[in-house]
A = this chain, B = another copy of it.
Amino acid sequence: MTNSNTIVGPLLTDLYQLTMVYGYWCHNKWNMPAVFDLHFRKNPFKGEFTIFAGLAEVLNFTANFRFTDNDIAYLKEQNFFGKNPNPQFFEWLKTLDCSKVKIYALHEGSLAFPREPLLRVEGPLAIVQLMETTLLNLVNYASLMATNAARFRLAAGHDKSLLEFGLRRAQGPDGGISASRYAYLGGFDGTSNVLAGKLFSIPVKGTNAHSFISSFTGLDDLQTRHLQNSNGEKVDFVARVIEIKERLGYKTHEGELAAFIAYAISYPHNFLALVDTYDTLHSGVLNFIVVALALVDFGYRPIGVRLDSGDLAYLSKETRKRFTEHGESLPKLTIIASNDINENTLVSLQQQQHQIDAFGIGTHLVTCQAQPALGGVYKLVELSGIPRMKLSQDVAKITLPGRKKVYRIIGKQGYPLLDLMTKEQDIVPQPGKKILCRHPFKSAKRVYVTPQQVVSLQECYWDGKLVKKLPSIHESRQYVLEQLAHFRPDHLRQLNPTPYKVSLSDDLYTFFHNLWEVEAPILEIT
């Protein structure tokens, strides 16, 4: 199902995972039961939320995790494992799979927050260590992209159509396909990427390009002049267009007009014109109107125009004016805008009361120009039943030890108040029962919360095999949109959003801080 079946295997990893695993194997540690959390430390795009995505690809990778004979042959012929590695190591590598692995995850499309385990991966140390790089690769970009798309959705408003047009600027072929997939999951309406449409059943949309327009120099280029009218007769369409043009007295670029006519004859039900090749208001929009009026005469319903340069707010308003000058003669027309649109452009266009119905968004969306990487990490939290934590002089990098549960606490007004992390065997928060929620690091920051509703966020998706059906991409997209409507808007807004709290239960707080004191060495400085 995913596009990357052929490359997403155990070799898609950092070499040190393999060399470390050889170390574990030599010291007979490989089979120790280990638990890793995959989480991030900071929301991207100066925002206060992240959309978790990539789960379908994670599970696909897990299901197919196996070194091929070819992989093993490659590893043997390199000098990765010292001078004379034990040949039994390679035999053992061949036997590895994920039949002893368990994966707990948030729903794909969940709003997620710093330090929450997006994935909890349990299994033999060597195997779950070998999965690290690939899991991070699959989750980081997918989540970043879905988050970016959701931010564009919030900036554009729910009534606008958002189309992803980024393939040509994406980071490689698969970068482009992933972008289309996760833009849709994050709330876009479709993509221009045909292959992504085919692979993931995403709506595919398109218009036309400047090269089509400029491939026509005049009306003589038109090889077909006739179009079927509403009486079913093939009538000279070009003549009708010229008649209307003369009646209106428009002086426009003839090559452009020819291109529009050609497109209308090929797509009479679907006529959408790119109007900025020569001059948007003095040629493109007028040529569109002429052809659109002729189509209406012939019984068709033209669609609209695409603006691809200039001041999009101004041009959209002027274009709309030109349309309304023709009153009832034209149906409601769509104005699509493209050309280097980013989140800030959308916000600014709103302020200028633009008249755009749909946005085609490329580079800034698919490369996540505002922040092209999510810093997800994968940290050991338990080994052989003993909780572990990563220490760091940078407090933000310290990880929460042990297996944890995450609950979303919904308040009286129906929106989420905070997420609460507990130890796995900890008290389960109950609706109507007051519970103490603590800041992970600041001991004085505590709050009592009485949940109206409690949602447990993690589910087990993999237990040696797939144990829970994944929702379709359409369902995940719907889930994203529902959550965006469900969270308090101040957590989601573009400028200075309010951080959403991720708290610890009192038990987890105490446990974490005790372990921290025990683990952190008191060094003697000489």
Contacts and interface: CB of A to CB of B under 8 A. Distances in A.
A209 B134 CA distance: 15
A4 B194 contact: no
A395 to B, nearest CB: 13
Interface string A388-425: 10111110010000000000000000000000000000
A269 B194 contact: no
Which has the most chain B C-beta neighbours within 10 Å: A12, A26, A80, A173? A173
A443 interface: no
Contact of A211 (B82, B129, B176): B129
Contact of A15 (B205, B215, B372): B205
A277 interface: yes
A167 B208 contact: no
A13 interface: yes
Contacts of A20: 208-209, 211-212
Contacts of A6: 3, 5-6
A78 B282 contact: no
B15 A206 contact: yes
A127 interface: no
Contacts of A394: 309
Contacts of A129: 211
A234 to B, nearest CB: 14
Contact of A215 (B75, B80, B125): B125
A141 B175 CA distance: 10
B167 A171 contact: no
Given A23-B208, A270-B82, A192 B15 contact: yes
A278 interface: yes
Given A19-B206, A172-B175, A198 B267 contact: no
A26 B216 CA distance: 14
Interface stretch (A323-331, A362-370, A458-466): A362-370
Nearest to A182: B172
B390 A210 contact: yes
Given A7-B174, A221-B29, A266 B194 contact: no
Interface stretch (A289-297, A344-352, A518-526): A518-526
Contacts of A197: 15, 78
A193 to B, nearest CB: 7
Which has the most chain B C-beta neighbours within 10 Å: A32, A134, A137, A208? A137
Interface of A: 3-9, 11-20, 22-24, 26-29, 32, 34, 36, 71, 74-75, 78, 80-83, 125, 129, 132-134, 136-138, 140-142, 165, 167-179, 192-195, 197-198, 204-212, 214-215, 221-224, 251, 253, 262-263, 265-270, 277-279, 282-283, 309-310, 363, 367-369, 372-376, 379-380, 383, 388, 390-394, 397, 521, 523-525
Nearest 5 pairs of A and B residues by beta carbon: A174-B174, A15-B206, A16-B206, A367-B372, A136-B168
14 contacts: A3-B7, A13-B195, A16-B206, A19-B267, A32-B215, A36-B211, A81-B266, A141-B175, A171-B171, A171-B178, A277-B391, A283-B521, A309-B393, A309-B397
